[in-house]
């Protein structure tokens, strides 16, 4: 993996555009034709990389911090499709020092957020510690949450959990966490099986909502074809947006939610998402930022019409 990344760095910055292009997956080549790739690639060959300051690997993903002869540094991120090291994704962007790629946890946020789901859910990923939240190292998703539905015995599914419909979260309504305007919708990404994954369309089916004041909600992994809103629509708090699916880079049906400071998923920075008037592990908390393993629900959802009851224990 390290050697494959080092070879890629050499090819990118030594001007071997054809070699880099040949290493991309067929799916990537269909999304980004060769002519467009070469246009985007051309400026990279003139950066004159002098050193690789840092190179880290996580599974099939690698990140390198690159220093040029002129001084500025860049971050190269690559996602390999499999152990053949075909390239599924490549990103080069200006480097931001640690701590500079997200807002601090006490950053003031003006939007008042409700949980974007009805009923009781468990935080599968969430918190400011990498042990509790694998999103911490992601610029936009630093304060993100993955929310799953869990039965009384702690399972997220019925039976053996081989089918998407076995999962308690699958098909549950996703609602707007606050009023705003829809600025981005992605639909049409298929829901993959439990033993599969989709490293190409990582967010899957997605809705992004502008709440004003440079505060945007990003909701991901909707069920294919379920999204009920379109770009330009004005939404109210609690308005249905679609249902939970398993599209994109999702290990099982769940909702990914985060708040960010711009509309673009790749360049925005994450904002601390505090939820108004919710229950955390059965206790009322205002402005909560729950962490992994905690049970959460909107306080009003106990009596709200149409809210689903807590799931029963799965059948054996």
Model confidence pLDDT, tens digit, residues 141-150: 999 999 999 9
- The proportion of the chain whose per-residue pLDDT surpasses 90, expressed as a percent, equals 50
More confident of the two residues 253 and 128: 253
Domains held by the chain: number: 2
Looking at the structure, tell me whether residues 126 and 61 fall in a common domain. Answer: no
Quick check: 314 pLDDT over 70? no
- If asked whether residues 289 and 227 sit together in one domain, one would say yes
Lowest-pLDDT choice from 135-149, 180-194, 291-305: 291-305
Residues 84 and 118 placed together within one structural domain of the fold: no
- Is pLDDT above 90 for 24? no
Same structural domain, 151 and 46: no
What gap in Å lies between CA 138 and CA 185, rounded to an integer?
21
Q: Which of 49, 71, 94 lies at the terminal end of a domain, its last residue?
A: 94
Summarize the confidence of residues 47-53 as an average pLDDT: 78
Domain boundary among 94, 120, 139: 94
What is the tens place of the pLDDT at every residue in 76-123? Answer: 888 888 778 888 888 777 776 655 557 888 899 999 999 999 999 999
**Could you tell me the pLDDT band of residue 31, with boundaries at 50, 70 and 90?**
low
Angstrom distance (rounded) from CA 79 to CA 89 = 5
89 — phi, psi (to 5°)?
-165, 145
Q: Is the distance from CB of 219 to CB of 141 less than 8 angstroms?
A: no
Judge residue 262's burial from the number of C-beta atoms within 10 Å of its C-beta, 0-12 exposed, 13-18 middle, 19 or more buried.
middle
Check whether residue 242 and residue 109 sit in a common domain. yes
What predicted TM-score, i.e. pTM, was given to this entire model? Answer: 0.70
Q: For residues 139 and 276, state if they share a domain.
A: yes
61 and 112 inside one domain: no
The confidence band for 214, taking pLDDT boundaries of 50, 70 and 90, is: very high
Closest C-alpha among 194, 150, 147, 192 to residue 168: 150
Kindly state whether residues 120 and 234 are assigned to the same domain: yes
| CB 174, CB 241: distance < 8 Å | yes
Do residues 88 and 61 share a domain? yes
Given a cut of 50, whether residue 303 has pLDDT beyond it is no
Range of the domain at 113: 103-316
Say whether both 63 and 114 belong to one domain: no
Mean pLDDT of the chain: 86
């Amino acid at each position: 993996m390290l050697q494959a990344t080092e070879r890629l760095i050499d090819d990118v910055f030594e001007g071997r555009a054809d070699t880099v292009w040949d290493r991309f997956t067929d799916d990537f080549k269909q999304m980004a034709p060769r002519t467009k790739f070469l246009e985007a690639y051309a400026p990279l060959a003139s950066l004159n990389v002098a050193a690789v300051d840092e190179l880290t690997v996580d599974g099939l993903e690698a990140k390198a911090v690159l220093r040029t002869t002129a001084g500025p540094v860049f971050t190269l991120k690559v996602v390999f499709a499999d152990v053949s090291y075909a390239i599924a994704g490549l990103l080069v962007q200006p480097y931001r020092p640690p701590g500079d790629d997200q807002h601090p946890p006490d950053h003031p946020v003006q939007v008042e957020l409700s949980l974007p789901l009805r009923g009781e859910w468990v935080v599968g990923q969430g918190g400011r510690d990498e042990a509790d939240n694998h999103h911490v190292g992601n610029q936009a998703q630093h304060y993100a949450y993955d929310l799953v539905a869990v039965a009384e015995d702690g399972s997220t599914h019925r039976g053996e959990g081989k089918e998407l419909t076995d999962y308690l979260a699958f098909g549950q309504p996703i609602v707007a966490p606050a009023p705003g305007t829809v600025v981005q919708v992605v639909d049409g990404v298929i829901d993959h099986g439990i033993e599969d994954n989709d490293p190409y369309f990582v967010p899957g089916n997605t809705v992004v909502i502008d709440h004003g004041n440079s505060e945007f909600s990003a909701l991901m992994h909707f069920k294919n074809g379920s999204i009920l809103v379109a770009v330009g629509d004005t939404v109210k708090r609690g308005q249905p947006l679609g249902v939970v699916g398993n599209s994109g880079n999702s290990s099982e049906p769940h909702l990914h939610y985060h708040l960010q400071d711009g509309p673009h998923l790749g360049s925005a920075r994450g904002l601390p998402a505090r939820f108004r008037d919710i229950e955390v592990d059965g206790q009322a908390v205002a402005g909560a930022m729950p962490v992994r393993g905690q049970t959460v629900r909107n306080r009003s959802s106990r009596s709200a019409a149409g809210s689903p009851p807590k799931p029963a224990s799965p059948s054996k």
